[in-house]
């Protein structure tokens, strides 16, 4: 079983709509979670860190559900520029240096 | 400009011919790491370094070597490349103080081993 799993999609979303997707992780002791965005095999870039209480950054909202071991990302009022692959990243609780990445969820926003 | 640079960006080589991919960052970050990305598998960590002269294995270290002699540089060495090392490679760096934060990635190196 993969340590971090994501629905690969694609999620086809009309412009202006809301899309949400999850990422599950296997190690219940994990403490640090992130969403990164990757465009077309370019370098990943941090979208947002995910905090225990949930956090929002403009149109993006991230939530953490420790009981069910998943994090979620919700994008409101989708823009064409939101089309990308969203990577879930979890820090290994036994090492600040180790990270596990999900394979990514592809989002395609259509006009 | 704060950045992570990698060279070369594209490389086609043959099995067994030693190669080095360089990575350099200008942000004075203690932490650096190498990842490979393959379709359907996501990024997998090869090696990481928490500081100069400190390196540790990631999840897929076999067939790779690294060194960290200077804070800014973290080269990835393939002593005897094989076709299964054909992949997209990313180097990353981040601060180690405070909360675990953003990793800054280089632009990637596309390696093909024939």
Split at pLDDT 50, 70, 90, the class of A1 is low
Average pLDDT over residues B88-104: 85
Average pLDDT over residues B14-28: 97
Q: For residues A1 and A66, give the distance between their C-alpha atoms in angstroms, rounded to a whole number.
A: 19
> Do the Cβ atoms of A11 and A68 come closer than 8 Å?
no
* B99 has a pLDDT exceeding 80: no
Q: What is the pLDDT of residues A53-110, one digit of tens each?
A: 889 999 999 999 999 999 999 999 999 999 999 999 999 888 888 999 999 999 999 9
Does the beta carbon of B42 lie under 8 angstroms from any beta carbon of chain A?
yes
Split at pLDDT 50, 70, 90, the class of B14 is very high
- Residue A96 to residue B43, Cβ atoms within 8 A: no
* B93 has a pLDDT exceeding 80: yes
Does the beta carbon of B38 lie under 8 angstroms from any beta carbon of chain A?
no
Q: For residues A42 and B105, give the distance between their C-alpha atoms in angstroms, rounded to a whole number.
A: 9
- Res A42: pLDDT: 95
- Residue A101 to residue B103, Cβ atoms within 8 A: no
Calculate the average pLDDT of chain B.
95
- Residue B105 to residue A97, Cβ atoms within 8 A: no
Average pLDDT over residues B41-54: 94
* B103 has a pLDDT exceeding 80: yes
Contacts (Cβ under 8 Å, ≥6 apart) of A14:
A78, A109, A110
Split at pLDDT 50, 70, 90, the class of B12 is very high
> Do the Cβ atoms of A43 and B90 come closer than 8 Å?
yes
Tell me, rounded to whole angstroms, the distance of Cα A98 from its chain centroid.
18
- Cα distance from A31 to chain B (closest Cα, Å)? 10
- Res B98: pLDDT: 63
Size of interface A-B (CB pairs under 8 A): 57
- Res A54: pLDDT: 85
Average pLDDT over residues A9-17: 97
Out of B31, B35, B102, closest to residue A97 by CB: B31
Query: Which residue in B has a C-alpha nearest to residue A32's C-alpha?
Result: B100
Query: Which residue in A has a C-alpha nearest to residue B90's C-alpha?
Result: A43
The residues with which A22 forms a beta bridge, in sequence order, are A72
The residues with which A49 forms a beta bridge, in sequence order, are A34
Q: For residues A8 and A19, give the distance between their C-alpha atoms in angstroms, rounded to a whole number.
A: 14
Out of B50, B101, B105, closest to residue A43 by CB: B105
> Do the Cβ atoms of B59 and B45 come closer than 8 Å?
yes
* B16 has a pLDDT exceeding 70: yes
């Amino acid at each position: 079983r993969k340590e971090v799993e994501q629905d690969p999609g694609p999620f086809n979303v009309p412009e202006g709509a809301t899309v949400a997707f999850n990422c599950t992780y296997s190690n219940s002791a994990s403490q640090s979670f992130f969403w990164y965005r990757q465009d077309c095999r370019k370098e990943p870039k941090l979208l947002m860190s995910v905090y225990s209480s949930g956090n929002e950054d403009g149109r993006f909202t991230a939530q953490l559900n420790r009981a069910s071991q998943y994090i979620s990302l919700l994008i409101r009022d989708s823009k064409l520029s939101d089309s990308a692959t969203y990577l879930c990243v979890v820090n290994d609780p036994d090492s600040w240096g180790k990270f596990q990445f999900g394979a990514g969820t592809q989002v395609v926003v259509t006009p | 400009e704060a950045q992570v640079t990698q060279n070369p960006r594209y490389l086609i080589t043959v099995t067994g011919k030693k190669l080095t991919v360089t990575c350099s960052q200008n942000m004075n970050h203690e932490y650096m790491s190498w990842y490979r990305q393959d379709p359907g598998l996501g990024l997998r960590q090869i090696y990481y370094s928490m500081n100069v002269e400190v390196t540790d294995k990631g999840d897929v270290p076999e067939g790779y070597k690294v060194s960290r002699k200077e804070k800014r540089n973290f080269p990835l060495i393939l002593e005897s490349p094989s076709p299964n090392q054909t992949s997209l490679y990313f180097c990353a760096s981040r601060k180690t103080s405070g909360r675990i934060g953003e990793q800054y990635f280089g632009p990637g190196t596309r390696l093909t081993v024939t």
